[in-house]
Amino acid sequence: MNTADLSLEPASNTASAYEWVRRYFAYEGLPFNSAVEKGVSRLLGSNRFGWFFELMVHGEAIGYAVLTRAFDHEIGGEYAILTDFFLLEPHRRHGHGSRALELLEKFARSQGLRAMDLYVLNRNARVREFYHRHGFRDFEDRRPMTKSLLEQNPTTMP
């Protein structure tokens, strides 16, 4: 398949979006639960939060990506967070990830977003190298930190 044929399409339906997230979370060993389902539903309900794209080649979905919106005065405005980025195994290491990232960056620029952040699991050196090749950099003096604001279990994220 030619990578030029890859396109970003809004998620076709909620069930499809849930299935993509389930596959990605299973691949990464992350828990898929009702909080995740609720978050996906909210994302699909409004572009206020961001976008859920299926990565398509000739009408076939080969992966998905989620871009969410954020704001930081340090960079002068809104920026994107590449929350999820997943390709099915047979489509990896053939240029589709690079092409999809290029299209996601172009889309983010068209929305006036000034930068793109992402998070990579520390154990995933191959993926970190992929992002480094595409211009993403680690901040030596910064590390993302998260605190749940939900009272259910303050030590873990939902």
- Copy the structure tokens of residue 28: 């990464």
| DSSP three-state, residue 70 | strand
User: How far is residue 88 from each of residues 59, 60, 63, 107, 154, measured CA to CA in Å?
Assistant: 15, 11, 6, 22, 34
Per-residue pLDDT tens for 77-119? 999 999 999 999 888 888 899 999 999 999 999 999 999 999 8
- Do the beta carbons of residue 14 and residue 37 sit within 8 Å? no
Q: Which residues pair with 66 in a beta bridge?
A: 52, 84
Per-residue pLDDT tens for 17-37? 999 999 999 998 889 999 999
Q: What is the pTM of this model?
A: 0.87
